[in-house]
Each structure stands twice: as C-alpha cells, then as structure tokens.
C-alpha cells in the first residue's frame, strides 16, 4: 500500500481513548477503530488506540460480544497537543450517565485531552458531566427528544451526521462514527490520506456534517398514513408548484382542513414538507454530479439562488459544499 509518510515532515502519535460501559454499541467502537487502523497502515504510528472502562477487563456490548479494556484510572493523562477522548453510545448509556464515579473520571480525563468526541448517544455522558453547556452537538435522532428534555442548556442539531464545535466533535448513530473518524483523520493527516482510508473501508468520502441522518420521506409518511400516497406524488412531481391548494385538491379536502390534518399526522406543515423533499432530492442529484442550475429546475426551485438559500437554512451549508464533498 502506498505510504504518505514522506509527505509529512513530522508525524506525531495521537492517543485515541474510547470509553466503554456495559451494553455499549459495538459498531460505535469497531467502525471508528477500523478507520484509525487503516490510517496507521498508511502512516505508521499515527494513532495509539485505547479501550478503557471504569473497572477495566471485559466489557459486554449490547450484542453480548465483549471487548477487553484497561481500567480508566490506570491510564496516564492525555495530552492537550492532539490526544482525543471518545465516548461511545449504546443501550447502556442511560445507566452510565447516572454513574457519579464514571462522570468524575470523565471530567478529569476531559480536562487533559486536546479534543473530545462522542459517537451516537455518547453525547449523553459529556452532557451529564456538565461539559457541554453552550455547545452545539448531535446524537442519534431517536435519542434527540430525550436529550433535549434532559439537557436543555445544550444546543442540539438532531438532523446532522456530525457536528464540530471548537474542540468538541459529536456524531449521529452508529455508522456516522466512521464519518466522524474520517473527518478527524482529515484534520490530523490531510484530506488526501483520509480519502485513501475511505477507499480502504469502501465507504463514501465523505458525507458532509450537514447531511440528514434519515430520509424526510420516511419520517413524514408511514404505511397506514392517509397522506403516504400524496407524499409519493409530491416526490415524483417536485418540478411542479405544489401549493397547499394543489395538495388539498388532490387529497379531496379544503385547504384549511388539509393543512391541519397534515400537520397533525406528519408533524410538519405542507410547505415545509415539500421543501424538505425538494432539498433531499436536490442533494441526491448534486451528489451524482448534476449541475446546480438543472437541479434547481428539476426540484422546483425558481432559481439556483433560492436553492442555495434553502440549503443554507435546512442544512447549514451551500450546495457547492455538498458537491465538493
């Protein structure tokens, strides 16, 4: 395999310390570790990977498979020059976030680390330790309501693949941990090397942090929903105006009654639902290399500028950033 080491004047070894707890999610660990392992195969000794837990020893994941870990208090302090403390998620995160002993040690470890990161619901651990006040984070979408209820002081971006806020990085569920790992590798070792890691793992390089965690179509509709057929029609006719009056007519309802019923069932106004479906379709087209002007027309935006504003509002980035990624 080609090595990039000769292009790097100095390669420091960065420690990556993963915090485990009973019933953690196995892929939250295995996915990122595989990415960092691949980086080490390209540039030797880029990362030192540690698995730690409160008591050390074998820690059972939610699948029943266990990983060996060192005792958290037995490990030396992390370095602020580049080491990263990572908290993973899983079914056991609620119990872990209520462990006063674990939270004390987490705060101590975090105070020494140069960078903090959470994977999936691992953000609950940092929030419970009081380390996320004023921060913007993400977590798995199924956990978002519970996170907002428990930690109202933390700004949650529930529809993001990963979020970076200063020295804190957070990612959504499971496979998004690989996206986070690739972003960390790109920051540490450069975009070119991160792209080679993605090729080695046979994954996309890379889904942007602003990409949606889940399909708007799946969120808005369900198999028994009375508007499922209408939403399918919307997705197939995004180039049309699709006003509330148009949709109400297709649903054989008055505009007022339709708007109320639609919002009650889907949790979204008709206009916002149409916009989200347009953006989702536009993102897919842009990822496949379709020109912005063509995408705007096909997806029902009156101009590329209107498309750009919608992208910024809903995804926090312009279409050009999606095409570059």
In a domain, 312, yes or no: yes
Asked if 248 and 112 sit in the same domain, the reply is: no
pLDDT tens-digit series, residues 82-127: 899 999 999 999 999 999 999 999 999 999 999 999 999 999 999 9
The single residue listed with the structure tokens 């020893």 is 57
| pLDDT winner (highest mean) among 2-16, 109-123, 268-282, 306-320 | 109-123
Work out the average pLDDT over 279-306. 88
CATH number at residue 290: 1.10.10.60
Question: Among 173, 201, 229, which residue terminates a domain?
Answer: 201
Per-residue DSSP letter, 61: B
Q: Is the pTM of this model over 0.75?
A: no
pLDDT > 50? residue 7: no
- Side-by-side strand order, sheet with 168-171: 57-60, 66-71, 47-53, 14-19, 84-87, 115-119, 168-171, 162-165
Residue 211 structure tokens: 């990409």
| pLDDT winner (highest mean) among 78-82, 92-96, 191-195 | 92-96
Instruction: Give the pLDDT of residue 213.
Output: 57
118: β partners: 87, 170
In a domain, 207, yes or no: no
Report how far Cα 115 is from the mean position of its chain's Cα atoms: 17
Asked if 52 and 172 sit in the same domain, the reply is: yes
Question: Among 201, 232, 261, which residue terminates a domain?
Answer: 201
Asked if 244 and 178 sit in the same domain, the reply is: no
CATH number at residue 32: 3.40.50.880
Instruction: Give the pLDDT of residue 22.
Output: 98
Mean residue pLDDT of the chain comes to 88
Domain count, the chain: 2
The residues near 229 (Cβ < 8 Å, ≥ 6 apart) are none
Instruction: Give the pLDDT of residue 209.
Output: 45
Asked if 177 and 74 sit in the same domain, the reply is: yes
Q: Domain of 68?
A: 5-201
In a domain, 206, yes or no: no
| Distance of alpha carbon 275 from alpha carbon 299, whole angstroms | 9
Asked if 277 and 183 sit in the same domain, the reply is: no
Asked if 63 and 176 sit in the same domain, the reply is: yes
pLDDT tens-digit series, residues 199-228: 899 886 655 544 555 556 556 665 457 888
């Amino acid at each position: 395999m080609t090595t990039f080491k000769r292009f790097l004047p100095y390669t420091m070894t960065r420690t990556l310390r993963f915090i485990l707890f009973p019933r953690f999610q196995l892929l939250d660990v295995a996915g990122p570790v595989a990415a960092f392992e691949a980086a080490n195969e390209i540039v030797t000794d880029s990362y030192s990977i540690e698995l730690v837990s409160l008591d050390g020893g074998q820690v059972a994941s939610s699948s029943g498979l266990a990983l060996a870990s060192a005792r958290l208090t037995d490990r030396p302090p992390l370095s602020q020059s580049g080491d990263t403390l990572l908290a993973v998620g899983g079914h056991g995160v609620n119990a872990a976030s209520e462990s006063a002993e674990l939270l004390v040690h987490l705060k101590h470890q975090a105070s020494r680390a140069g960078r903090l990161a959470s994977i999936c619901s691992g953000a609950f651990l940092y929030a419970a330790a009081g380390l996320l006040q004023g921060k913007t984070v993400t977590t798995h979408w199924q956990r978002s309501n519970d996170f907002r209820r428990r930690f109202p002081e933390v700004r949650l971006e529930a529809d993001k693949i990963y979020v970076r806020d200063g020295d804190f990085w957070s990612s959504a569920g499971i496979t998004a941990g690989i996206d986070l790992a690739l972003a960390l590798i790109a920051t540490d070792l450069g975009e070119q090397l991160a792209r080679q890691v993605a090729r080695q793992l046979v994954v996309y390089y890379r889904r942007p942090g602003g990409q949606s965690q889940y399909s708007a179509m799946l969120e808005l509709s369900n198999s028994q929903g009375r508007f499922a057929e209408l939403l399918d029609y919307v997705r197939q006719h995004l180039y049309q105006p699709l006003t509330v009056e148009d949709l109400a007519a297709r649903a054989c309802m008055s505009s007022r009654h339709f708007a109320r019923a639609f919002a009650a069932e889907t949790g979204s106004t008709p206009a916002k639902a149409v916009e989200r479906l347009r953006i989702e379709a536009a993102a897919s087209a842009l990822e496949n290399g379709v020109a912005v002007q063509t995408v705007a027309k096909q997806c029902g935006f009156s101009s590329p500028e209107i498309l750009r504003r919608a992208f910024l509002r809903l995804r926090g980035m312009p279409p050009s950033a999606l095409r570059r990624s």
